[in-house]
Amino acid sequence: MDDEALGTAAERVRARLVGKRRLLFITGAGLSAESGLPTYRGIGGLYEDAQTEHGMPIEVALSGPMFARAPHITWHHIGAIEQALRGARHNLAHSIIAALEQHYEVVVLTQNVDGFHRAAGSTRVIDIHGDCHDLQCTRCDHRERRDDYAGMTFPPVCPVCAAVVRPEVVLFEEALPARKLALLLHELERGFDAYFSVGTTSIFPYIAQPMLDAARRGLLTVEINPGVTEISELCEVRLPCGAARALSALFPNRSASH
């Protein structure tokens, strides 16, 4: 997308935002890719290959049933994700979204488990898949926050009861956290004036549906993604470029302050 086309589209979005108050940002791995993190799929992704070294798809290795049977396998791949996060930090796109809270009521629904939105300053974050830095015991009430997994054995054991510890993330074949799902439904019932999808392929129904519902109701829907996704055809404005570039064009005053 050339600069002229991006500028024209950005002006259109800004005109539609005049007088608006509540914004929803739905974010995925493409947003954090600009922090140097690999996405999960595709060329250069953590799971580009069809099979893991354990001879199974990543969806099996990172599943609830596999964790119950062989936690060392699941932890091996969770550790690979955390290793990719280590030393990385939030980027300009995260900062712009956080800065928008000065002028809008912003809610962030993120699939990412890296914690970058909160690190950037966003205060209304629904991390629907959890945060890999929050650990909990599978037997007792022990919880802890880890900035990284350096020095940890896999699987780690609880310092209180010696049971296996797990990250507070949603594994494949596990239900979404009831509390976070209820919060998301509450916010969606309140409604938003504009909906932004940033860096996500929108393959999960609970990620795609808010955008699809908003589009059908004629509300402003903006997709920021270099690739074509499940929702691309229905969004009012599509910006096929990186998150930081697109958000800087949409909100130049916010990007100038960071």
Q: Cite the active site residues.
A: 129
In three state form, how does the secondary structure of the chain look? CCHHHHHHHHHHHHHHHCCCCEEEEEECHHHHHHHCCCCCCCCCCCCCCCCCCCCCCHHHHCEHHHHHHCHHHHHHHHHHHHHHHCCCCCCHHHHHHHHHHHCCEEEEEECCCCCHHHHHCCCCEEECCEEEEEEEECCCCCEEECCCCCCCCCCCECCCCCCEEEEEECCECCCCCHHHHHHHHHHHHHCCCEEEEECCCCCCHHHHHHHHHHHHCCCEEEEECCCCCCCHHHCCEEECCCHHHHHHHHCHHHHHCC
- Report the C-alpha gap between 189 and 206 in whole angstroms: 14
| CB 28 within 8 Å of CB 231 | no
How buried is 172 (Cβ within 10 angstroms: 0-12 exposed, 13-18 middle, 19+ buried)? middle
| Residue 60 exposed, middle or buried by CB count within 10 Å (0-12, 13-18, 19+) | middle
